[in-house]
């Protein structure tokens, strides 16, 4: 997670508004530093950092809301919407590797249990006993297939990947829209940032 | 999501230091109002509300960091971060369990064992998180964190929490 840039020139004995302007100007700038970097869907870390930058900006707008005359609610809603969208993308980015690791663990469990069944020290004496043993082996395999956890995890991974593609598409169109609508300029104007 | 408590006496032209005390102490009391419900564990929304409040508190501390001496500030911020993170781990599991449970009936039978297995594992981890939460709040209580924190904020901002008396919107 990217650390917030330090803000200089804060004077606690002054009023909230001039100090808040300094802090907010820096945090708005931090959001826009990811413009360009997030044009690539594979830039997971930049997308995550942009989410954090939006989150910091959102909380600051909530905290300093009372110090400004302008109605900051529409800006807050927009920032929150972007944060939520990027949060959903981040969830997919975190979950897919976790599910893949879980799948690998299930594969290892499966290999170990098959190995154990095949190398069991119990040996049958007669041909009739061998038939019984083979039938038991088949029935255990069928039962194992019915309770196999792997297909569900494969499905979940596929769902998350598809969701990620759709969410990223929504994000890029929203990001383009807020830039086109000059969100930054309007917000800075409302806050009196020059 | 639980509504943030209103900050009493926060004038638009307030001094930065004064606003810091009022906002941080209000967010602190707001967060702690969910402590009993979170520890009881009967309603996952109590933990969610506590986590949201802890994030608001952390954000307020970050915003007003310049009001406080760096050394003490880092110590208190670290503890608040620990609260957020501990609650966050449990909340993430609550959300994951809920999401998978909703998804389950719409899946093909062949896919269900995978999700059921995952839900079982998440529920097991979630029970372990309860123990972490209890241990954290027990330690904070033993270390008298609440009165120390409130006194420290008061000392550097001039706001007395007993005079401020933060309270929820409409009573709780």
pTM over 0.80: yes
B78 touches B90 (CB < 8 A): no
CATH homologous superfamily of domain B16-164? CHAD domain (1.40.20.10)
Structural domains of chain A, count: 1
Interface check A134 vs B, CB under 8 A? no
Q: What pLDDT, on the 0 to 100 scale, is given for residue A3?
A: 86
pLDDT over 80 at A122, yes or no: no
pLDDT grade, residue B25 (50/70/90)? very high
Q: What pLDDT, on the 0 to 100 scale, is given for residue A19?
A: 97
Helices (H) and strands (E) in chain B, counts: 7, 0
Interface test with B, best of A63, A69, A94, A162 (most B CBs within 10 A): A63
Q: What pLDDT, on the 0 to 100 scale, is given for residue B65?
A: 96
Over residues B127-137, the mean pLDDT reads: 96
Q: Where are the domains of chain B?
A: 16-164
The pLDDT tens digits of the residues spanning A94-109 come to: 999 999 999 999 999 8
Interface check A149 vs B, CB under 8 A? yes
Over residues B145-157, the mean pLDDT reads: 98
Identify whether A6 is part of a domain. no
Nearest in space to B38 (alpha carbons), one of B2, B63, B10: B2
How far is CA A111 from its chain centroid? 32
Q: What pLDDT, on the 0 to 100 scale, is given for residue A125?
A: 63
Host domain of residue A50 = 16-191
Q: Is B139 helix (H, G, I), strand (E, B) or coil?
A: helix
Over residues A108-132, the mean pLDDT reads: 76
Q: What pLDDT, on the 0 to 100 scale, is given for residue B1?
A: 67
The pLDDT tens digits of the residues spanning A131-181 come to: 887 888 777 777 776 679 999 999 999 999 999 999 999 999 999 999 999
Q: What pLDDT, on the 0 to 100 scale, is given for residue B172?
A: 52
Please indicate whether, in this complex, the C-beta atoms of A152 and B23 are within 8 angstroms of each other.
no
Q: What pLDDT, on the 0 to 100 scale, is given for residue A76?
A: 97
The pLDDT tens digits of the residues spanning B68-120 come to: 999 999 999 999 999 999 999 999 999 999 999 999 999 999 999 999 999 99
Q: What pLDDT, on the 0 to 100 scale, is given for residue A116?
A: 79
Higher-pLDDT residue of B118, A1: B118
Over residues B134-163, the mean pLDDT reads: 98
CA angle A4–A92–A40, rounded 5-degree value: 65
Chain A residue numbers touching B111 (CB-CB < 8 A): 151-152, 155-156
Q: Is B15 helix (H, G, I), strand (E, B) or coil?
A: strand
Query: B64 vs B11, B53, B142, CA distance in Å?
Result: 16, 17, 28
B29 touches B161 (CB < 8 A): yes
Please indicate whether, in this complex, the C-beta atoms of A62 and B4 are within 8 angstroms of each other.
yes
Identify whether A155 is part of a domain. yes
Classify residue B111 by its DSSP letter: G
Among B55, B66, B111, select the one facing A10 at the smallest CB separation. Answer: B66
C-alpha A87/C-alpha B55 separation (Å) is: 15
Q: DSSP string of A63-76?
A: HHGGG-SS--HHHH
pLDDT grade, residue A117 (50/70/90)? confident
Closest chain B residue to A26, measured at CA: B63
What is the torsional sign of CA A174, A186, A61, B77?
Answer: positive
Over residues B22-51, the mean pLDDT reads: 96
Q: What pLDDT, on the 0 to 100 scale, is given for residue A74?
A: 97
Identify whether A45 is part of a domain. yes
Please indicate whether, in this complex, the C-beta atoms of B13 and A15 are within 8 angstroms of each other.
yes
Identify whether A70 is part of a domain. yes
Q: What pLDDT, on the 0 to 100 scale, is given for residue A123?
A: 58
Over residues B25-36, the mean pLDDT reads: 97
Interface test with A, best of B19, B114, B117 (most A CBs within 10 A): B114
Rounded to the nearest integer, the mean pLDDT of chain A is 92
Over residues B40-67, the mean pLDDT reads: 95
Higher-pLDDT residue of B1, B125: B125
């Amino acid at each position: 997670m990217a650390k917030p840039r330090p803000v200089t020139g804060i004077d606690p004995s002054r009023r909230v508004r001039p100090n808040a302007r300094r802090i907010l100007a820096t945090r708005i700038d931090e959001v826009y530093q990811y413009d360009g970097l997030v044009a690539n869907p594979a830039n997971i870390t930049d997308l995550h950092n942009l989410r954090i930058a939006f989150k910091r900006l959102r909380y600051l707008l909530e905290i300093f809301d009372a110090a400004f005359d302008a109605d900051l609610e529409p800006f807050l809603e927009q920032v929150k919407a972007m944060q939520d969208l990027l949060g959903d993308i981040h969830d997919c980015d975190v979950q897919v590797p976790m599910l893949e690791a879980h799948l690998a663990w299930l594969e290892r469990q499966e290999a170990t249990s098959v190995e154990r069944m095949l190398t069991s020290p119990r040996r049958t004496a007669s041909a009739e006993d061998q038939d019984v043993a083979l039938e038991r082996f088949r029935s255990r395999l069928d039962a194992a297939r019915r309770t196999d956890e792997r297909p569900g995890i494969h499905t979940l991974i596929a769902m998350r990947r598809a969701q990620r593609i759709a969410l990223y598409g929504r994000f890029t169109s929203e990001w383009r829209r807020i830039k086109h609508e000059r969100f930054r300029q309007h917000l800075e104007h409302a806050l009196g940032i020059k | 999501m639980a509504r943030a408590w209103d900050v009493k006496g926060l004038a638009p032209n307030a001094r930065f230091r004064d606003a810091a005390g009022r906002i941080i102490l209000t967010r602190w009391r707001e967060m702690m109002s969910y402590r009993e419900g979170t520890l009881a564990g009967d309603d996952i929304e109590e933990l969610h509300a506590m986590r949201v409040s802890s994030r608001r508190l952390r954000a307020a501390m970050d915003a007003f960091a310049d009001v406080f001496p760096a050394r003490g500030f880092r110590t208190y911020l670290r503890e608040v971060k620990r609260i957020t993170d501990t609650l966050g781990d449990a909340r993430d599991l609550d959300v994951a369990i809920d999401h998978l449970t909703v998804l389950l009936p719409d899946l093909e039978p062949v896919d269900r064992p995978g999700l059921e297995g995952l839900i079982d594992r998440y529920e097991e981890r979630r029970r372990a998180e309860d123990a972490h939460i209890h241990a954290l709040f027990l330690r904070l209580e033993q270390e008298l964190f609440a009165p120390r924190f409130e006194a420290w904020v008061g000392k550097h901002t001039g706001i007395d929490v007993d005079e401020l008396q933060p309270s929820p919107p409409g009573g709780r």
